[in-house]
Amino acid sequence: MHTSIQIAKIWGIPIRLHWTFVLVIGWLVYLGIPDWQYFRGQRAIWMFISVLAVFICILLHELGHAFMARRYGVQTLQIMLSPIGGQAILERMPKQPRKELFVALAGPIVNVILAVCALPFLYWVPAEKLAHLPQFFGNPNGNTFLRLDMDERFIIGFVLLNFLVALFNLIPAFPLDGGRILRALLSMRMNKLGATRIATFLGQGFAALIVLFSVSQYNWLMGVIGLFIFISASMEYRYVKLDSRLHSFSVQDILRPRFTRIYLDQNLSEIVQQWREGSEKNFLVFDRSEQLKGVLTSPVLMEHHPSEEEERVASLVISEYESVAKEDNLMKVIRLMQEEDYEILPVYEGEELLGVVDWNDVEHFVRLQKEQVR
Ligand SMILES: [Zn+2]
């Protein structure tokens, strides 16, 4: 579970570092072992500053997404930084395509702003060196770049990095920002599932190209990025498909009409036995005039102490609950149960109690639907 560590908190958003950074540090140390001299003095300082700068640029990119999402009332659960890039995990995507578009654009825009702000510093680099740059990219093994001083290298690298990050992310392939932008633009003209299908297809095609290219170049890091894009694209498509599938159901598709009524004055030991042996794990609790008074759930029963078994149901009953209607959308109810941590909800039609929605049934139902969209 703990595959990352939290290094900071910005605007209440946990910033986490993926464990694979350890591999990168190990790799740098491995590279450095044959020639420690290489890492000494000014060069070490500039290397450190460069790594830090890359890190901060990626973090600012993700904060751009988070900032825009926040403007639309969407919280960011966490920002994960890994060696192959960052990821802002939002609690949900804004439903309106226009908002998704701006959330997706906000990241690359941050890098463009950073690059543009750094442009004036290029005046420090002598003009004839800048003129040699295209030559360097035409022949990276030529030593032109090495004749640049460390600070010159840093500033050129900073500008290029930010332009490249922005450009790379704008490639219209899921799950890159460009894929989201494309999907948002398509969603304005067609349904979201169809738009996702197109963006996913492009994402997978692009990922396949990267993998093929990386194999031909023996570039394993590029191969990993390609595979990552491929898998993420498929996952996003399945998620959207599942989401749209679940949206087509309502509470009555999952409603359980037969349920055991338990009463406030019943002995807990009786209920515990029923809970252990029966298939029902969450219960509605009534008083003797058949008025619904609350719920008794599996987590509460699991935590209870055996000495409490002489007590009555009333001592453990949870009186906060909400009721739902049978025509309520299933997705809405699932979200409600997740957010409020409800295990069971009574289902009404007008005044009449029709049955219950039990979280165990919900999980089973979602699992079945997942198998359908595989
Ligand atoms: Zn992004």
Ligand 1 midpoint to CA 340 (Å):
30
pLDDT for 360 equals: 87
At 1 the pLDDT is 42
Residues contacting residue 57 through CB under 8 Å, at least 6 positions apart: 111, 114, 158, 161, 162, 165
Å from CA of 281 to ligand 1 middle: 43
Q: Is 282 within 8 Å of 296 (Cβ atoms)?
A: yes
What is the 22 CA–ligand 1 centroid distance (Å)?
23
Taking the chain (374 residues) in runs of 10, the rounded mean pLDDT of each run is 74 83 73 62 75 86 91 83 77 79 92 90 75 63 60 82 89 83 87 82 84 80 78 76 78 89 88 86 90 89 71 85 88 80 89 90 81 63
Q: Are 181 and 154 in contact (CB under 8 A)?
A: no
Place of tokens 């069971």: 344
- Give CA separation, 336 vs 92, 295, 344, 356, in Å: 14, 16, 11, 15
Rounded distance from Cα 109 to ligand 1 centre (Å): 9
User: In sequence order, what are the beta bridge partners of 168?
Assistant: none
Separation of CA 254 and ligand 1 centre (Å): 37
pLDDT for position 201 = 84
Span from the CA of 29 to the centroid of ligand 1 (angstroms) = 29
The pLDDT value recorded for residue 23 is 77
Q: Which domains does the chain have, with CATH numbers?
A: 4-170 (no CATH), 179-246 (no CATH), 251-373 (3.10.580.10)
CA of 136 to the centre of ligand 1 (A): 29
Cis status of the peptide bond prior to 175, with omega within 30 of 0:
yes
Confidence at residue 31, expressed as pLDDT on a 0 to 100 scale: 65
